[in-house]
Structure 1
Amino acid sequence: MMHNLLRRTIFDLVPRTRRHPAKPASALAERWTTVDGIRVFYRESPTPPQAETMVHLHGFGLSGRYLLPTAELLRDDFHTLVPDLPGFGRSGNPPRPLDVPGLAHAAARFLDDRGVASATLVGNSMGCPVICEFAYHYPKRVNRAVLVSPAGGVTNQPLLRAVRQLAVDGMREPARMIRVAAPDYLRFGVPSTFKMFHALTQYPSLDRLLALQIPTLVVIGDRDPLMPGPARVQEVASRTSNHVLLVIIEGAAHAINFSNPGELANVIRQFMADRPIADDPASPGQARAYELHRGAFHPEPRSG
């Protein structure tokens, strides 16, 4: 029953489409490499600036394509990499589907292949647990973490509740998101989606998040049905001294990297420079970004 519900949740929200659309025009260069014998597709700043590397990690069932709106805005500020992790998007499949720890190790080996010793990691949804797991195993390789709409944990349990949350979110995302997500979900398939989503609901996201010992930005949308409300998030965050900076984007749902790239890129730039969080005047509209919580160990904002 639950398998059929997940099938309807995903496929009733997307039109029939080709498995892979024509290559989109992108401000990032499209490239291939081979990691552990698997062909890995990734996008990169066409002329990498002499700046810190920033790696964008996608959500479950998806590729890095929906992360491009935000990643492209940051391409001149950071050496930007957007991989399709093994088993996702246009990358090849590993012998066995990777779980969260497996994806974290795969991300580390991708950085090895690119000659990147350490980086700031930016994730959305499943990409956030992958980052937390990466930091757990490779703490010296993560300079900063940006967790956008982190998925997993008690908020998404039991699984049936999580599936319903996903269905609600599908109705709150921009309609154009369907054209981007549909080919990825169709390729990934229902059985793989079911297994990965189940694994995410069991992942201790909050515990791993609070255990991070690096400056960490958490961004949530106040219309995201997969996350608790801002008041509840603030209550949990305030219970402990940590390195977390919590920012709300009003009017945003789950896929903020796609739906609100201007606001998100602006917040990330401010976070990276330790500047006070302020709304982006260049992104007018219903969305508004503001700081909700700054952990005791998080760097204090610098003026100027």
Structure 2
Amino acid sequence: MTADPPGFPARRRRARRLPRRAASALAERWTSVDGVDVFYRESPARPDAATMMHVHGFGLSGRYLLPTAERLRDEFHTLVPDLPGFGRSGRPTDPLDVPDLAHAAARFLDDRDITSATLVGNSMGCPVICEFAHRYPGRVDRAVLVSPAGGAYNQPFRRAVRQLALDGTREPVGLMRVAAPDYLRFGVPSTVRMFRALTRYPSLDRLLALRIPTLVVIGDRDPLMPSPARVAEVAGSTDNHVLVVIIEGAAHAINFSNPGELAHVIRQFMADQPIVDDPDEPGRSRAYEIHRGALHPPRDFSAGA
């Protein structure tokens, strides 16, 4: 087990209060990770179920990930933590950067006695997953990176702010009711520090270096991402295990806005099946592959063809 990062003990402890009303069918619980109170949601663990942990984005808690996580709860042992410093969880003494958050995610799994898991992230959660896989390569079974922002396309800070503002006009109205309390709790100083940490992190290099089956899902209306053609070009720049899927009509917070389509794509990816559109979501959007890495199973294999 690696040493804890400097400043990891909690600066202060929040009262361990559960929400007055449950936000989903997942159980809501508290634990303590390296002295920090961590709030999380969890599905019942079947003995034969693989573990899937959902990792939230910039300034947010895991609550906005619940629409997708809830759809997968019967098939996977599902965990949705608020990482230290975010949401209801306590704040470490010093702010955490991307490697620190990856370490915190690993320590959370240690606390749950879980040796490995599939990690599903959105936005900032994607660099955290890439760092997790870099530091703990034997502990990530598969990676699902949804709207993996945080690279050069989101710099400088004022450009990222404009992109976020535009994205806000493309997301469901209900997202703001979920996200606003999280952003207010996170605060402006933490936002600026976290953005700087993300700009220093080599997200693209880490993603292309992954040696596990990796699904990248992007929306064609996401202002925080380059064009789908550019994403496919970058993903194809080297031999890799990356599979890239577009969800038409989706913006940045796909886990919240398009949970049925995303859960359907994740199921197919987990089963090594070709990605086809969800017949149960007619007329809403369309999901399809735009890149299949050379090291990923070919599309014409027998399973699910």
CA distance in 2, matches of 1:128, 1:279: 24
- SS of residue in 1 equivalent to 2:37: strand
Equivalent of residue 117 in structure 1, options 115, 119, 124: 115
Greater Cα offset, 43-52 or 276-285 = 43-52
Q: How many angstroms does 1:204 deviate by?
A: 1.7
Which residue is equivalent to 1:253? 251
Q: Map of 1:17-28 to 2, 5 A cutoff?
A: 22-28=20-26
TM-score by length of 2: 0.91
CA displacement 1:25-53 (0-9 Å, x = unmatched)? 41100011111011111000035462110
- SS of residue in 2 equivalent to 1:91: coil
Aligned: 1:188 with 2:186: yes
Which residue is equivalent to 1:148? 146
CA distance in 1, matches of 2:268, 2:92: 37
Q: How many angstroms does 1:206 deviate by?
A: 1.1
CA distance in 2, matches of 1:250, 1:264: 11
Corresponding letter in the other structure for 2:113: G
Q: Is the Cα contact below 8 Å between 2:22 and 2:28 reproduced in 1?
A: no
Corresponding letter in the other structure for 1:303: A
Q: How many angstroms does 1:170 deviate by?
A: 1.0
Q: Is the Cα contact below 8 Å between 1:152 and 1:204 reproduced in 2?
A: no
Q: Map of 1:1-304 to 2, 5 A cutoff?
A: 22-48=20-46, 50-301=48-299, 302-304=302-304
CA distance in 2, matches of 1:21, 1:171: 28
CA distance in 2, matches of 1:195, 1:224: 24
- Count of residues paired in the alignment: 285
Q: How many angstroms does 1:196 deviate by?
A: 0.7
CA distance in 1, matches of 2:41, 2:19: 16
Q: How many angstroms does 1:82 deviate by?
A: 0.3
RMSD: 1.3
- SS of residue in 2 equivalent to 1:198: helix
Q: How many angstroms does 1:65 deviate by?
A: 0.2
Q: Is the Cα contact below 8 Å between 1:49 and 1:76 reproduced in 2?
A: no
Q: Is the Cα contact below 8 Å between 1:237 and 1:293 reproduced in 2?
A: yes
Corresponding letter in the other structure for 1:24: A
CA distance in 1, matches of 2:126, 2:92: 21
Q: How many angstroms does 1:285 deviate by?
A: 2.7
- SS of residue in 1 equivalent to 2:92: coil
- SS of residue in 2 equivalent to 1:42: strand
- SS of residue in 1 equivalent to 2:91: coil
Q: Percent identity?
A: 79
- SS of residue in 1 equivalent to 2:121: strand
- Structure 2 gaps of 5+ residues are 1-17
TM-score by length of 1: 0.91
Q: Is the Cα contact below 8 Å between 1:74 and 1:80 reproduced in 2?
A: yes
- Structure 1 gaps of 5+ residues are 1-19
CA gap of 1:150–1:160, structure 2 versus 1, over 3 A, is same
